[in-house]
Amino acid sequence: MRRIINWHPSRAGAFMLGAVPFILLIVLYLIFSDLRLAANPNDKLLPAPGRIWDTIVRLAMVEDRRSGAILLWRDTGASLMRLFIGLAAATLAGLCVGIATGLIPYMRSTFGPLIAIVSMVPPMAVLPILFIVLGLGEVAKIVLIIIGVAPFLMRDLAIRVSELPRAQLVKAQTLAASSWQIVLRVVLPQIMPRLIDGVRLSLGPAWLFLIAAEAIAATEGLGYRIFLVRRYLAMDVILPYVVWITLLAFAMDYLLRLLKRIICPWASDGASRR
């Protein structure tokens, strides 16, 4: 009898195994939805697939009577805009601060303690301050994402930079490199993989902060819609929105993984890296 850790499924087998939990979840949903609707045809908790489909069609293809816009696309556009601006700003800040504090001793001494403390502030606790200071508009929501994500990226990158072998930095100096040239040709390319991984890990928190901010004060956005229709127990809206948000997050993660493989070809199959 071989040990269980040595049993490997085939490629097709792995794919099918992966599909099983999804199918099970769908079947379970269908069964319980059917049971509840049989008991009470007006039950809203687990709407029938047909009902959900009708709602999707209405949200994604028909103009809203009041606003004249197609709701799903308008919400998606608003949310993605906030998310992208927030993540881009956080990434840039993480990159600049991470490299500076990781590479330059004086910067590390000056800003290291501050970053270590600030990154412990729970971003949601700061949200009221943001709304008070920045108003209820777009800026407060974007800043919340930045506050939530940037400190992690700064610290993660600073660690990666300080982990670069000391010998590499000395070597670069014997090749006549200035500090700036070291950043450009030695440090930046080598922390790119970690930066992309850091952003991937930050996608979850970024969505969390976005939806939280939208739930509290917004007039459009995926999170706003979910919390708006919650009052009417409109599960036929909430469920497709949740699935849609999940798909968006998954796609972004996938694209980042792809990006990493394209711009850091040495990192993906370089077997002997440590």
Return residues touching other proteins (CB under 8 A): 165, 167-168, 170-178, 180-181, 184-186, 189-190, 264-267, 269-273
Q: Which two tokens stand for residue 104?
A: 């330059």
Give the whole-angstrom CA distance, residue 123 versus residue 121. Answer: 6
Rank residues 67 and 178 by Cβ distance to other proteins and give the closer one. 178
Helices (H), 230-271: 235-263, 265-268
Residue 70 tokens read as 């197609």
- Our CB check for other proteins shows the closer of 44 and 171 to be 171
Minimum Å gap between C-beta 190 and other proteins is: 5
Q: How far is the CB of 91 from other proteins (least distance, A)?
A: 19
Amino acid in the structure at residue 55: T
Between 103 and 142, name the residue whose CB sits nearer to other proteins: 103
3-state class (DSSP) for residue 63: coil
**In whole angstroms, how close is the CB of 169 to other proteins at the nearest point?**
9
* Rounded-to-integer distance, Cα 104 and Cα 265, Å: 28
Comparison of 113 and 270: residue with beta carbon closer to other proteins: 270
Rounded to 5°, angle at Cα 216 from 221 and 63: 30
Minimum distance, C-beta of residue 203 to other proteins, in the bound complex (Å): 25
